[in-house]
Structure 1
């Protein structure tokens, strides 16, 4: 049996004992770190799933995908009821080519009629930007026109620029989240590995969150501008499903970053246990058998009961 020399430092003793640990004991000692690493991978998986739902919205006329939209424009009663013969004028607007509603997505837009649902979706377009003026003009028959307020035309250039950024950020966040699913488990082996992983996780969370903020601000402002037009009775509503999906994805991305930020200083890694810097889970150092693990008080209590019986 090897004895510890008196001139050995505590660090040397810890290193010597750590070399005696088996691979099973090292895994037990770092079980907490492994659980958090797998939890972060699961959070990233959920992030990818919800971002995919954001991406596939409006790509087909499926009733499920068409419900995932940023904003819905209802033009079924574009002429206010206060105008004489408003129902007749609205029916005329429909015969001129206008649809009852238009829905905006990340890759394009869809159109349809009340009672029939979505009838057509545009072809998916990279860096798509919603332009209601261009859409309505293309929908109307030759010679027909509709006058939109000037304040809508003023924000079209801003919508185009912001939409390009939003598209790129959502797509980049989905790709980076998928890659990080397979990268974050490497943080189990070393706390130093958690530093670059936490930086990547922070970048990923920042990209997705900025995309969500851009989408929220842009479409809320556009909704308010549309609702403020008194000349036209265009009703606009925000898509609850789309905004819920993208903010849930942002939340899971932030949780992943916080987990790996904490692992930079918390939870012993396998390298820490091997070098003796940290012990990790104390149960890994307990003997496998029951011999010698019972406390003295328990043995004395058992002897007392045997004598009294």
Structure 2
């Protein structure tokens, strides 16, 4: 009787030891916050990086849009292009004019004119910016109207014919650029707060990825239009050598535009990659990725299924 009961005793001892082992190291549940946080760590880090990119892009877009709105040292240096008329050669000048510090002043013009997204500013080399026009929606710079309107009576300048030809193109491009910059800024700002939603599902990644692509295209097109417009305008004015007009593109404005474009594009790339990469919380709960074994183990535990252990097999063989 003692020998017959020995295998049964060993089997019970092995079972009890496996139960103790299972109690000491339970399998993690997919509903456990720690498990969810650990399983979606890569996706969460990617979301943080994309939100940071949207934030940087929004900051630089704000600088682009408020540039040249007043004559302060900071905003006054942010412009698309700047016309230097200090040494302009007039086509005709009345004899009653009094000579000033520059030819432009003598004719009634300012030494320079610089253009922003909302308005233009003018001033003199010695005094800096003296006047900025009122910011206007869908603003576009009309040099013919502004320059000819400031000339003294009897004075005239020969503006290049290319300027008159590109005025309509300049107006359309300026309006498109204005609308795209505003819309791109709004989308980037909104995506800063909505992007964390993609942590829960890949479907949300695809949904918000469309708006990320839209923001990228809007900012890219607006930046390309601003760059092309400034370069074309500069070429059209400086190509007339007998007018002696200088033109410079705004280095800060160009840098801010392209930095905003680059960060918006980078955020879109990260956003688009989340559609097919990095485990989401829905993936963990459905077992599609990263949570399959955990989900299966949790289901077995709920059903009361005990898995075989090496200790039990050894005890049986000894018996």
Shorter-chain TM-score: what band?
A: 0.7 to 0.9
Question: After the TM superposition, which residues 112-191 of structure 1 pair with which residues of structure 2 at under 5 Å, given as runs?
Answer: 112-191=123-202
| Matched-pair contact (CA < 8 Å) for 1:204–1:253 | yes
RMSD value over aligned CA atoms? 2.0
Q: 1:233 aligns with which of 225, 234, 244?
A: 244
* Residues 1:275 and 1:22: Cα distance change in structure 2 (over 3 Å): same
Question: After the TM superposition, which residues 97-112 of structure 1 pair with which residues of structure 2 at under 5 Å, given as runs?
Answer: 97-112=108-123
The runs of 5 or more residues in structure 1 that have no matched partner are: 2-16, 81-87, 283-309
Q: 2:84 aligns with which of 74, 85, 88?
A: 74
1: CA distance, partners of 2:161 / 2:79: 25
| Matched-pair contact (CA < 8 Å) for 2:30–2:284 | no
Q: C-alpha displacement at 1:108, in angstroms?
A: 0.8
* Residues 1:23 and 1:93: Cα distance change in structure 2 (over 3 Å): closer
Provide TM-score, normalisation by structure 1.
Answer: 0.80
Q: C-alpha displacement at 1:147, in angstroms?
A: 2.3
| Matched-pair contact (CA < 8 Å) for 2:181–2:219 | yes
- Does residue 271 of structure 2 align to residue 275 of structure 1? no
2: CA distance, partners of 1:106 / 1:213: 14
Q: Considering only CA atoms, is the larger Rg found in Structure 1 or Structure 2?
A: 2
Partner of 1:204: 215
2: CA distance, partners of 1:33 / 1:19: 19
Instruction: Say which SS state the counterpart of residue 219 (structure 2) adopts.
Output: helix
1: CA distance, partners of 2:69 / 2:274: 40
Q: C-alpha displacement at 1:264, in angstroms?
A: 0.5
2: CA distance, partners of 1:180 / 1:153: 41
2: CA distance, partners of 1:246 / 1:221: 17
Partner of 2:304: none
Provide TM-score, normalisation by structure 2.
Answer: 0.77
2: CA distance, partners of 1:20 / 1:72: 61
1: CA distance, partners of 2:143 / 2:30: 71
Q: C-alpha displacement at 1:63, in angstroms?
A: 1.1
* Residues 1:58 and 1:259: Cα distance change in structure 2 (over 3 Å): same
2: CA distance, partners of 1:185 / 1:148: 54
Q: After TM superposition, what 4+ stretches of structure 1 lie above 2 angstroms from structure 2? A: 17-21, 88-93, 141-147
Q: C-alpha displacement at 1:79, in angstroms?
A: 2.4
The runs of 5 or more residues in structure 2 that have no matched partner are: 1-14, 16-26, 91-98, 294-319
